[in-house]
């Protein structure tokens, strides 16, 4: 005999639900880049943050960042594994798996 009541599972925090909802709406990448921007300076350090900023995600887990000079671009390419590890510490599962740098004029 059914009472018409739905069985409830364990409560889920809004923080866990929001990324899923944003992904379903097709705007999850935008929310993800916002989380990266918020922790960028703390994760990569003030000197790197002064010369480089995160721009977008491409191919899912690759963070594209804009750098203010070709010299900094080359240096950051060499330091990419360290920067990814720092972002992983700060962001957990939201961290990129790789970084791509390009020289830009937006800084």
Q: Which CATH number applies to 14-103?
A: 3.30.300.180
- Extents of the domains making up the chain: 14-103
CA 15 to mean position of chain CA atoms: 15
Residue with tokens 């866990």: 16
Of residues 9 and 35, more confidence is placed in 35
pTM over 0.85: no
Nearest to 61 by CA among 41, 88, 21: 88
Residues 46-86: tens digit of each pLDDT: 999 999 999 998 887 899 999 999 999 999 999 999 999 99
Residue with tokens 């300076």: 41
């Amino acid at each position: 005999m059914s009472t018409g009541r739905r069985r409830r599972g364990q409560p889920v925090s809004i923080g866990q639900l929001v990324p899923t909802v944003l992904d379903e709406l097709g705007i999850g990448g935008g929310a993800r880049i916002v989380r990266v921007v918020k922790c960028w300076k703390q994760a990569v350090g003030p000197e790197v943050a002064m010369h480089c900023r995160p721009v977008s995600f491409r191919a899912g887990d690759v963070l594209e960042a804009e750098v203010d000079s070709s010299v900094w671009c080359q240096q950051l390419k060499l330091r990419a594994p360290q920067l990814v590890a720092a972002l992983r510490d700060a962001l957990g599962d939201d961290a990129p798996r790789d970084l791509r740098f390009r020289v830009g004029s937006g800084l």
